[in-house]
Structure 1
Amino acid sequence: MPATTTAPQKKPFYRILYVQVLVAIVLGVIVGWLWPELAKNDWIKAMGDGFVKLIKMAIAPIIFCTVVSGIAHISEVKKVGRVAVKSLVYFEVVSTLALALGLIVANVLRPGAGFQGQSNAAAVAGYAKQASEMKSVDFVLHIIPDTVVGAFAQGEILQVLLFAILFGFALMGLGERAHIRAFIDDVAHAMFGVIAIVVKVAPIGAFGAMAFTIGRYGPQALGNLAGLIGTFYLTSLLFVVVGLGLIARIAGFSIFKFLKYIKDELLIVLGTSSSESALPQLMEKLEILGCSKSVVGLVVPTGYSFNLDGTNIYMTLATLFIAQAMNVDLSFGEQMTILIVAMLTSKGASGITGAGFITLAGTLAAVRPELLPGMAIVLGIDKFMSECRALTNLCGNGVACVVVAWWEGELDREKLRVALDRDVDPADFEMAVSEPQSL
């Protein structure tokens, strides 16, 4: 007698994660606005910080297991190199597009023209000092961990990625003797199960982070800088819908369906201001979408350091805003220099708190040091723009993975079609990871 299958019962709307997170964000804004002193309580702040820490504790082992498993199951070494080269080429092309878009919008809309405000050089001295200490050679050396245990303990994504690649190649060389591969696969599934448990408290984290942000900075922090915030959000939206939309169309999928597919992760990032808070869920969803495990494991973690589209838009847009606000005219040649310098500095602040602000300081210091004091103009609203940076970075890395998988011939079109037409709740990942994807 053939087995009968029943369609999964639809969840009540109040049990869907993105609905819960959206409600939590709205409540957080209300509490932060009406009761700012309550919202600034350490325990409120701890709700957001605690959730991000819960996610981050699982990122290193998930990246390690995913990358090692993906490489160890590959029969040819050349494939790993191909994926890496294609990823870096894509990252540089799209990053340049994001930087150029920021310059174009800033020149057309001129959000800093006629700005009246005071700047305080002391307020940005710390960021400028950190930026002056950033050197490309130090960044390269930082990729190599002092110890393997230290890389995992400190949660350094690039260091864990480097060790995982080496370990994966070592297992590949062992061939059939590498019995540990099955164990690593099981650990990866277990870690995604941990994430499925953790994301159930995402609404609490989103509420705490949003309430503290509004309570700490308040609507008054926007002031007459609302023009810059609006311009930045508009530019980022234009980049995602038009720029990434065209790239997605070339690869054969709709950017709007993709955004709907990752809406849970977008709302979590919006609530926590951290793109890392959605990294494990994004990796799992991309596998469900039809991207091979090896491509997901290599592209997504690398993209979190080398494909920061939101940060790129912010750097060029904020640089020209500051110049316009301080009545400093930048020639076409200087603006091209900003684009080139920003292309390098944007790669050097991975894993640093306030990375977008620090890379901005590094760019200004390299091009026009006299603009550094003007960073104090945007210091008060940087927190309100960090959410948009993180959202754009998440979208960019998700699209990058699908495109590289398509480019490499590692994209399952049928899975892509089916997945984009249905909802996958991150709180239900136990179901997804119980069916490992064959390579």
Structure 2
Amino acid sequence: MNNKKLPRRILYAIASGILTGWIFHHYSADESTAVEIASYFNLGTDIFLRMIKMIIAPLVFATLVSGITSIGSSASLGRISLRAMIWFVTASIISLSLGIFLVNAFQPGVGMNLSIPPSAVTSVDTAGFNLKALVGHIFPRSIAEAMSNNEILQIVVFSIFFGFGLSHVKKENLNSISNILDELVKVMFKITDYVMLFTPFGVFCAIASVITTQGLGSLVDYGRLIGQFYIGLGILWVLIIGVGYYFLGRSVFKLGKLIREPVLLGFSTSSAESAYPKAILALEKFGASKKVTNFVLPLGYTFNLDGSMMYQAFAIVFIAQAYNIDLSFGQQFIILLTLMLTSKGVAGVARASVVVVAAALPMFHLPEAGLLLILAIDQFFDMGRTATNVLGNCVATAVIAKSEDERERVEATQPGASPDTPASLIVQPQQAT
């Protein structure tokens, strides 16, 4: 498939999925029939996502270890890690604060005047979702188990240990192992190309399934809430791109053009994993250093979830408004800090943001039944927040790569610098389009 035609074919698939889903929803005899029809569409979506997931674990492992070994000195690794974590934490605070500010400004739940039910059952399992469990879950019992379950955070932890260990072996052995890893990355990218051939089919099935069961009415009924959330995402996009412009200059628009495909892929499939291989390739075309991209991007998938952060704050305050529960500024500030902690380490969990919201509601004595208000339309939220996560990670990686390259250029020009010191400029402003 021609990569330039893929975004257009994805858009065609979205439109076809909406039309097909509406037809089946409109002409289904009853709700159970629509659900049964949707199950066949779900099969196509599941197959596509399974193919995506089968390449994620080896790709994350190979790229992250390759990034660590290519960085070289522990000082460089520590510097890049520090810059990445500063960016991730700052972006999370801004995203959460923006979500809380906008939901208080828009007040989408005010006027619903819902009565708190004595009990309600949700479909989200939050058993064991606490700080102790999260910290324990970070470290894998077995790398084979972590890879089989696509536990991204556990794979990242193992890859970091493996990369540090590999960086201390003899140089001749290091080169041979590094070459094997580089070839593994190339093989995984080729497999990715094959999997991407099925992207329009997976997108079509995902959209058709949602519309078949829920119809277009869900978009109309919750149009105000969805619209306000997407306005918030739009503002967040402007902030992300604006910060990118500050560091990258006009080259940020070149980056935006290159990452259009992975962002659209994440939006249409609601899966950031599906966009990961294409994001790496887009950053490589942009000129970002492989060693930084292969290290920072996997970390971003775990710690830098800008869209998810904003959604969680937005959803919790919306539920409080719907039940006429007044949250003071202090309570909302505590919610912000709590979400900062509990949202980390849930990468790879299905509908992780919903799980975080479901776990946070009882912490603040909010009705758990409020989750039912957003579950029905969470697919539409998930599409937007996933695309935002992909955008935020790509911009963060490009900025950190450029800053690291500029530091290497300065060090290379200092007296006594080694002639082997890398000094290639990652982003050439005069080449920006």
Q: TM-score range by the shorter chain?
A: 0.7 to 0.9
Query: TM-score, normalization: structure 1?
Result: 0.86
Shift of 1:355: 1.0
Shift of 1:152: 1.7
Shift of 1:418: 8.4
Shift of 1:31: 0.4
Q: Which runs of 5+ in 1 are unaligned?
A: 1-10, 422-439
1:141 equivalent in alignment to 2:136: yes
Residues 121 and 372 in structure 1, CA contact (< 8 A), matched pair in contact too: no
Q: Which runs of 5+ in 2 are unaligned?
A: 29-33, 408-423
2:347 to 343, 346, 350: 350
Partner of 2:223: 226
Task: Give the letter for the 2:199 counterpart.
Answer: A
| Distance (Å, rounded) in 1 between the aligned partners of 2:276 and 2:117 | 36
1:373 equivalent in alignment to 2:362: no
1:326 equivalent in alignment to 2:323: yes
| Distance (Å, rounded) in 2 between the aligned partners of 1:57 and 1:414 | 31
1:248 equivalent in alignment to 2:237: no
Partner of 1:433: none
2:177 to 171, 180, 183: 180
Residues 138 and 345 in structure 2, CA contact (< 8 A), matched pair in contact too: no
| Distance (Å, rounded) in 2 between the aligned partners of 1:177 and 1:185 | 14
Partner of 1:192: 189
Distance 1:205 1:12, change over 3 A: closer
Distance 1:405 1:414, change over 3 A: closer
Shift of 1:195: 0.4
Partner of 1:403: 399
More divergent stretch after superposition (197-206 vs 373-382) = 373-382
Give SS of 1:73's match.
helix
1:34 to 10, 23, 26: 23
| Distance (Å, rounded) in 2 between the aligned partners of 1:107 and 1:78 | 44
| Distance (Å, rounded) in 1 between the aligned partners of 2:153 and 2:198 | 27
Question: How many residues were matched structurally?
Answer: 406
Query: TM-score, normalization: structure 2?
Result: 0.87
| Distance (Å, rounded) in 2 between the aligned partners of 1:83 and 1:225 | 42
Distance 1:223 1:17, change over 3 A: closer
Residues 124 and 375 in structure 1, CA contact (< 8 A), matched pair in contact too: no
Distance 1:74 1:308, change over 3 A: closer
Task: Give the letter for the 2:241 counterpart.
Answer: G
| Distance (Å, rounded) in 2 between the aligned partners of 1:308 and 1:355 | 11
Give SS of 2:71's match.
coil
Shift of 1:404: 1.6
| Distance (Å, rounded) in 2 between the aligned partners of 1:73 and 1:222 | 48
Residues 13 and 200 in structure 2, CA contact (< 8 A), matched pair in contact too: yes
Aligned-pair identity in percent equals 34
1:262 equivalent in alignment to 2:259: yes
| Distance (Å, rounded) in 2 between the aligned partners of 1:79 and 1:203 | 41
Residues 31 and 211 in structure 1, CA contact (< 8 A), matched pair in contact too: yes
1:167 equivalent in alignment to 2:167: no
Distance 1:78 1:351, change over 3 A: same
Partner of 1:426: none
Residues 153 and 345 in structure 2, CA contact (< 8 A), matched pair in contact too: no
Residues 14 and 268 in structure 2, CA contact (< 8 A), matched pair in contact too: yes
Residues 261 and 420 in structure 1, CA contact (< 8 A), matched pair in contact too: no
Partner of 1:435: none
2:44 to 43, 47, 50: 47
